[in-house]
Structure 1
Amino acid sequence: MTMEDNLTARIRHFVEDNFLFREDADELANDESLLDAGLIDSTGILELVSWIEAEFGVRMADAEIVPENLDTIAAIAAYLGRKRPASLVA
């Protein structure tokens, strides 16, 4: 498993455990909108940001809390890839 795959798996695990209350968890694509799917609302975004900051040791500026960074599992992984050195993502 690559570091990118590991990062994506960690994000997916968090999303599934905290927001996905349906049986078809395997059908959630990494590029599916969490907002459009109704999985995350404004309160969920705050929970997601708190988890990202605690889990990965990054500080998200208010300007970074936007759908481009948080709307899909893939977008979250890409955001974290930009924020953290590769050696720390594993």
Structure 2
Amino acid sequence: MTLVVALDHCKEQIRAFLGSNFYISDMGALSDDTSLLDHGIIDSTGVLEVVGFIETTFDITVDDSEILPENLDSIQGIGHYVVRKISSAADA
């Protein structure tokens, strides 16, 4: 699977998770780079739910030092983070 396909697949799963676990009035208006925190879609507890989802769904471990807005504040950021983690685990 190429990284582009993997990223698109990750983003689809992330979008589905967000849509079924958080209140989003208009999923169609939620772009990949929308800040989930700034738009009130997730809060600090929601971040932990997202971390749990990532760890369970993609079988990776999210280190405390990686719980950063650039990794977890948008669908795009989460997708890139997951692909990086999976790629680095595959290279190890």
Structure 1, unpaired ranges of 5+: none
Q: 1:6: how far off? A: 1.2
- Does residue 27 (structure 1) correspond to residue 29 (structure 2)? The answer is yes
Question: Which SS does the other structure have where 2:14 is aligned?
Answer: helix
Name the structure 2 match of 1:6: 9
Structure 2, unpaired ranges of 5+: none
Kept in 1, the 8 Å contact 2:33–2:75? The answer is: yes
Q: Deviations over 1:59-89 (max 9, x none)?
A: 111000111100000000000010003xx8x
TM (norm. structure 2) is 0.86
1:55 to 50, 54, 57: 57
Query: For residues 83 and 21 of structure 1, what CA distance do their matches in structure 2 show?
Result: 27
Query: For residues 61 and 37 of structure 1, what CA distance do their matches in structure 2 show?
Result: 25
Query: For residues 5 and 52 of structure 2, what CA distance do their matches in structure 1 show?
Result: 25
Query: For residues 2 and 54 of structure 1, what CA distance do their matches in structure 2 show?
Result: 20
1:15 to 18, 25, 28: 18
RMSD: 1.8
Name the structure 1 match of 2:73: 71
* Identical counterparts, % of pairs: 45
Letter of the 1:15 partner, please give it: L
